[in-house]
Every structure is written in structure tokens, then in C-alpha cells.
Structure 1
């Protein structure tokens, strides 16, 4: 009997025998073979440079070190979260006399190498931000005309992940800048995950069609839609975008290169438990990066259990890296279907089904799983991903009837 949803407790132990992702062109740095997991400052802390007037949203050394401590002490590292990324607004307003970027001397008094060393001492990885223009989106120094020295600076500081924005430049420059900066990053010979905003600016600022084959050849992950804000409405709009653009985006997605729907806002006190469950589940089904943006001290017990649900994480970190395909079962219900490991006899995949209900009340749906790719005549076992409990066996002839509560369910 095959398995509908069966996951190993440690996603890193899964093995790929036959990865059918031939259409994906991979960046030749060997990184991000599964979607990155970690924490990023922007979604919750935003610019965070006014620590005197807004100490609760202060982007400083103390905050970053505290996130590393949370990952190390509270089970996030064991669950796979490893990157801690400082977004915009970390630097002084001017470069140093040597032309290098300078961390804000009040908020980061010991410098970025000190932070990187602390994070690395915990077995975690460090990320930073820049922009391909002369200034960043928040008007701090950008990297234009400094690609070489900035790449070397980041490498010398011990950076493992770089998020690169694309504000304030023209289309033609965007189409060369990300390639050139990536070249300089590779020249440092330090393994640095390269996160690009290239396709977003091409499509939504310059109103052109991104060349995803080129983006996927030069970046490890890429933003292709608007920033998430701390609201359920924003999460819904992002999910709808990936639903509508599935046929385009799924072609350029897999080990080494990922579509990035932006940060998880779980833990920011704006989502209900059901809404948090939906965002986490859909992102796992998409094989999206799982980058938290929140005050780690304010995550509830439920949110922590959700973020560390190893069944969900195994789906998102599956080595095949296949984006779930969306199907509309009704105006209110979307069924997301994802093929993944383990396989029976190298022939039949396991599958996960996520039912998302955006109606204002519970909704009952019936569907035949065999209509969505199941092929094993031996049947399948069904498990509830949230509880880890076995539910039933099904055959290819069976229909499942499910009461889907408002804001989602998962099998």
C-alpha cells in the first residue's frame, strides 16, 4: 500500500533518486537545494532605525543576537530554521573613507563580523541586505558602482545569504545588475545564497514580462510579487497571486532556485490560529522559503507548534521541490495538490492535499483524489498532517468528503 501523506521526522535525511525538474536552470553555487528557512527583520521591524522613540521596533545588535538565541534554545534550529537576515536600514548614511559600507555605529557597535561570528557559533547562518541602486529603498547607501567591494565586504563579514532589492533603477540596468553582482559574489568563493527582487521590479514597476529563465539561472530565490504586510488581507492576495500564476511560476522552481512569496507573518498578533495555519500550510505546499518576521518572544504556544510541525516542514523541504498545483473546487474552496517523497518502488509518489476555505463559515466538499494524480492500485494511507494521526485507507475509486473549517484544512 502506498502512502498519501507520510513524512520522515528529519527532512534532511530524505534522498532523491529521480528528480524530474529538467526545465529548471540552476545557479551554479550548489546552495538552497531546499527552500531557505529562517528569520528576516523587515516584515515586522521595518526600517527600525529610530530606537529612541520606538524601542519595541528597534533593529539593532541586541535584537539579532536574541533571534539567534531563540533559534538555538527554543527548537527552531532543530526544525530547520537557520538563516537570520538583517534587512534594510542597517548602515550609516555614508560609506567609509575606504569606500566600504559601515554598520550603524550606535545600533551595531561591534560590527557585522561580530554578529556573524556569534550566529555561526550557534551553528546558524547570517544574512544581510543591499540594493542595486546608489541608495537602498529606504535611502541608505546602495551597491551601484560598488558591486565588487560590497561583495568582498559581505564575504569578509561572514555573510551566508544576501537579499538584493531593485528600487530606483531602470529596466535595462536591472537586467544586467543582478547578473554582475552575482558574478562578484561568486568571485569571493564564499557560499552566499543569492535572493533577488529582479522579477518583481520588472513586472510591477517597469510593466514588462520577467525572463524567468534568466532569473533562475542567476539567483537562488526571487521575489515576484508585492511585499507582505502584517494583515490577513495581504496573505490572501499573495496566495491568490500564486494560484493565478501557477502555470508560469512552477516552471522555474526547484532545487537551487525558488519563487519567494515573502515572509511569514505568524507571531505578529495579526493572524488568527486558522489564518496562521493557512499561511504556513500553503507556503509549505508551494515549497516556498519559510522566513519568519516577528518578535520571537511573542510567539504563542500554538504558533510555535505550527512553525515546528515537522510534517509540514518535511512537505516544504521535500528534495523534489515541486510547487503544489491549485484547483478550484468552488468559488470559496481551493485544493492545493503536491507530489513529493517518499515513493513506493520508485514509481508512485506520496501526495499532500491542502484545502483552503476563505468563506466566512465551514464548507463541505467532496473530491476524488485519483483525479489529482494518484495512480497506485494498491491504495493509499491518509494522515492528518496537523495531528499526525492515521485517518483511513483509500483506493483509486474512493471519494473523500471533508468538512473544511473557515481558513483551511490539510491531508
Structure 2
């Protein structure tokens, strides 16, 4: 959960762990060329057996269900009518059949005070029939009920609902008597009591209640990763939070993913790393980003707890959450968390060993442009074979490959496949990879050139290959070279040049293009591959010197909250920052960011220099440390070196002549995101 008075504390505690965790990631290795094996130095996914399942049989696969906090917080719509409605939707929309079973209540379900007997009292306005009646309703639909409290004297909400510290045994018994099946145990107002003691006491209380009532309760430890629970909680609870709270934006999701990935060896049946609940459908990210969110949580064997209000969810949200092939990756009984094979320049390969010997592979593109991402069957630890079956888990189609697993992945997208070494590969058409050379960044009314490729990755030829590129209505898309080939042998590519023109007057923004290849297998079966692309119409910056805080941006990602214009980063909603202040000097213009951050501007080859006064904002404590970087297209043009709260603003400038895109990056200097408010003060672009 998220509560403003404690949010920064949680962020800092989790952020301080990032550097050490990321150090455990596999180094970034070179990616293979099309049709080539990965270098022998690339380590294979570990194949050691998972830790033995616990004797209690709880959470043998990651828990799946719903929690209301991300969509409702403590607002009035959180009540028993909502809970009943979610339970009904689980059944009606097929989510129960897909594996979702827990309907969990978060904070604010109780009155602020216990009764005269020290018992918890459900809020009669929210739950007039009581928790037991709600549990009965949920159970009648073949589902389970979860509840929330804190390992402190109060919960995390500002209203101060009663926590369980000192009441563990009576509260656990009350939960069991009500029919509760799952407990989320938070970390606020803990009075400095040792974390392991607090959480172990509740474990013992839950076991005692279970022994008396016969009701086992899954135990979710929510101490935000402050005390490294992955090192001690495997015999305490069934899952433990590894990070601070997630929020419904790309930067938050990405940061949490990066913190959780290095902890793969601690996960297994009955003990799971928990990178917090899902934000899918809450509106702060695109559908592409939500598919990445769901894909990466699944390949990380994370608990899948829906955080959106399903009563108002879109069809696309249900399609994402209900993708049973992706859910099967998360719920695989072997219980392995995915392992990072490479992460070079934001091109991630994360692979998960499956119980049937196959590998689930996430090709994840962190960057804001399409990128080719590749690995191989050898790098995945699969045995040598004539061919491999490759199943696309979002397109629900099967192909075969000679060994290369690769795709051009859209910005912020993930291609999730399952690769098997089996004798059935020849019954599938060959996989073809769609590629793109050149950018999809253009100015209205001006032709832009790009080149596409269609490459056969299979063991057999692709026959009667044709390729098409389409854009929005009114756009002109013309091929400048052949768009077809009778036969495309293994490893060979059809390359086609195109000119793309957006009509004059097209407003700036993102527009969809679709690259499609159609072909036949040697047996005559039809097949296709589709690559959605985004063309960005940009406006050239004005001549002269402009304040970057006032110019339109191509893209912006931020470690916490939005990038702010002409104020510091406030960590929550846009416009909540303060004046930019570094070393006691206040600046009227600039950008306020929070590491990790990247802000892109279109310069169209017409600009010469970027200048700024950079530093850690004075509003933060003594722990901040960041590095500011200026990139011209794909080349780093300037770096500030490490700056801390003790440093005055440092002048930073870069020659960006000829660049189409300028990117301003702030990193965490390798020690986590604690207090990392970076100011691009007085940032200016000269064109």
C-alpha cells in the first residue's frame, strides 16, 4: 500500500538496496546476429532443482487474486458490495478458471478502535454484514478471502486503524474464525521492534489459529524489503515484499522490476519474491507497457494480484489479465523465477526454466525506440536439436526456429515466448523476424526513409514471402525496393526500403504503423508475423536558445513521479514540486527529475549545444548521489560525474550538432535511488 507520510521512507529503504541487487545481475553480453548462436561465454539458465516444497502445502505456486488498494485506497467505494462484485467477476469473466482465487481486502476495513474485549471491529458502513458474511459469499463461489493488518500498533493509513502488534494471537484467531484465507501483514508503526521477531510472532499465531480452527492462512510479509526478508523469511511466510510500493507509471514499474530480478535464487514453491501488486488497467501506462508489466511479473514467478477495479475494466485489461498462456508461465509447478541472461543497453533477455524442460523467454525493450533483442537455444540451456518449437504467448501461435530466438521489440514492449526442444517442431512454419533500420521519427510534410527486413529463423525456407507497411489514413507509404521473395532460405533476409510521409499539418504525437509479413511453410501452410510500430511526428525546435523546461518532449521516464517542468520533483502528481534549488541557489527554469530518469527532445539535426547547471536538489537529505548525462542520438556527449547533496551545482554542456534526438539521463550513481532528486537547472538548447 501507499501512504504519503511514509512513502519516502519506503522508497529510500528500497532504493538503498538497488545497487547491491543489480550487481548480482548477469553482465550484459553481446547479442548474436540473426541466425547465429550466442557467444559461448553467455551463461545458461541454471538448471538446479528448486527448493523443496513446504510441508504445509500453502502457495506452492505464486498466489493469484485481487487487492483493492491500487484502485480505491481508502475511498468510499471500498466496501462489501465491491468485494462481492469482484468475486462475481472472477467467475463471470473466466479469471477463476485462469487461476485467480484470492479476493483480498486492504487497509480501512476496520473501525479505528477495538471493542471493549480488544477485538477488531469491521467498519459497519463499509461491511454492514461483517467480514464472515463476505467470506461466506466469496467461498460460495469457490474463491478465497484475504485481509490486511500491520505489524505495528497502527496500520499505515493516516486514520490509524488498529495494528496487530501485541494482539497477534487474538487477531489471528479472529481472522480464522471469520474464514480468512490470506493475510497481508504491513510494516507501519512497528515501534522499532525487530522485524524477524514481529513477523515470526504472527507466523506462530497463524499456525496456532489454524491448528484450532482447521483453516490455514497464506502469510504475505509486507516489510518493503527493508530487512532483506528473502534471506530469512522462507520459513516464516509464503511470500515477502522485495521493494517499496508500486505506482501506476512506467518508471515505478521498471525500478521495481530491476530490484526484484536479482533475487531469483530465493524463490520457489511456498516462498516467493513479491514485487508488489499489478497496476494493469489503472490507466497510468499504455497497453503495451501493461503487457510488459504482466509478462515480467509472470516470468519472475511473482504473485499476480490484480490492482484495478474490474467492475470498470476494459476488454483489453481482461485480455491481459486472462492470458492463460502467460499465467501458466507464472504458475509453473517447478517454481523457478526467471534469470537475467543479458541487459545490454536496455535490451533484456530473461529466461525461466519450466517443469516440462522448456524455457519461457522474455525479450524486453526498456528503451523508447524499437530494438532487436536476441538469444539462442544454447544460451537458454536447451539441448542441441535439429529444430525448436517457439510459441508466441501473446499471439498464441507456434513456429519453429533453428536455434535463434529474436525479435524487434517495440518501445517499452515485451515479446514473451516459450521454447522447447522436441520432435514436433517440423509441423510448424518457420519463425520469421521482422526488423527495422532507421527511425520512425519525422516532421509533418517531409518524407522520411526507413528500411525493413524479414529474416527466416527457421530450419526450413519461408516460401512466397510478401511484406507490407501501412500507416494512418492520409499518410503516404511507398516501397522503394521489392516487397516479395519466392523463397527465403534459413538465415536470409528480404530487405525493403520505404518512404513515409505524414500530411502537412499533422499534429505532433505518436501514430501507429504496422509492418506485416505473410508467407508459407514448405508444406504450404499460411503464416504471418506482425510488428506494430510507432511513428512520432515531431516539431523542430525554434532557432536561437530555448529553455528545455518549456520545450515539448518526445518521451520521459522517471524513477518516482513525473518529470517536472521548472520545478523540482515532487514524487507524486504533476505540479507538486518546489522551486529548483541547488547549493542554496534558486533557478527559475529547468527540469526536476528523480533517478533513474531519461528525457528525450527532438532536435532534428538543427541544434548545436545543450547547457545546464546540474545537481541534487536541496530539498533532499544527505544521501542523494546522481550522475547527469547528455546523449546525442546513441552517443554519450557529456557526463557530470558523481554529484551529491554536498556539491554545488555543476555546469554541464555538450555538443549535440547533427543529432536528431537529445536525451538527458540521470542515474543513481550505482548506490540506489535514495534522495536522488536531480535538477537540470537553467537547462538550455541552442539551435
TM-score, normalising length: structure 2: 0.51
Matched, 1:35 2:62: yes
The separation in 2 between residues aligned to 1:369 and 1:329, in whole angstroms, is: 17
> Which of 106, 109, 122 is equivalent to 1:90?
109
Give the structure 1 partner of residue 407 of structure 2: 402
Who wins on radius of gyration, i.e. which is larger? 2
Give the structure 1 partner of residue 301 of structure 2: 287
Question: Deviations 1:300-327 (Å, cap 9, x if unpaired)?
Answer: 2222112111110111000011010113
The separation in 1 between residues aligned to 2:379 and 2:48, in whole angstroms, is: 23
Matched, 1:385 2:393: yes
Q: Counting helix residues as a fraction of each chain, which structure ranks higher?
A: 1
SS in 2 for 1:167: coil
The separation in 1 between residues aligned to 2:162 and 2:224, in whole angstroms, is: 22
Give the structure 2 partner of residue 313 of structure 1: 327
Give the structure 2 partner of residue 183 of structure 1: 204
Matched, 1:231 2:249: yes
Matched, 1:328 2:347: no
Q: Highest relative contact order (Cα 8 Å, sep 6+), 1 or 2?
A: 1
Matches within 5 A, 1:211-360: 212-243=230-261, 246=262, 249-342=263-356, 349-360=357-368
CA 1:126–1:400 in structure 2 vs 1: closer, same or farther (change >3 Å)?
A: closer
Question: Deviations 1:308-352 (Å, cap 9, x if unpaired)?
Answer: 11110111000011010113342121111111022xxxxxx1011
Matches within 5 A, 1:367-378: 367-377=375-385
Deviates more, 1:287-296 or 1:26-35: 26-35
Displacement of 1:284 after TM fit? 0.7
Question: Deviations 1:19-42 (Å, cap 9, x if unpaired)?
Answer: 8123x6x65432000000000011
The separation in 1 between residues aligned to 2:48 and 2:180, in whole angstroms, is: 30
> Which of 144, 149, 155 is equivalent to 2:170?
149
Name the count of aligned residue pairs: 364
TM-score, normalising length: structure 1: 0.85
> Which of 172, 191, 194 is equivalent to 1:173?
194
Matches within 5 A, 1:1-20: 20=49
Unmatched tracts of structure 2, length 5 or more:
1-46, 418-687
Question: Deviations 1:212-271 (Å, cap 9, x if unpaired)?
Answer: 34211111000010111122221111112123xx1xx22221100100011111111222
CA contact (8 A) 2:85 2:311 kept: no
Deviates more, 1:370-379 or 1:119-128: 370-379
The separation in 2 between residues aligned to 1:401 and 1:162, in whole angstroms, is: 41
Displacement of 1:410 after TM fit? 1.6
Question: Deviations 1:56-115 (Å, cap 9, x if unpaired)?
Answer: xx2111111111111111111111111000011110011011211000011111100000
Displacement of 1:371 after TM fit? 1.6
Question: Deviations 1:128-184 (Å, cap 9, x if unpaired)?
Answer: 001111111111001111111101000000000000011122554322111111111
CA 1:92–1:27 in structure 2 vs 1: closer, same or farther (change >3 Å)?
A: farther
Unmatched tracts of structure 1, length 5 or more:
1-17, 52-57, 203-209, 343-348
CA contact (8 A) 1:178 1:198 kept: no
Deviates more, 1:355-364 or 1:217-226: 355-364
CA contact (8 A) 1:198 1:215 kept: no
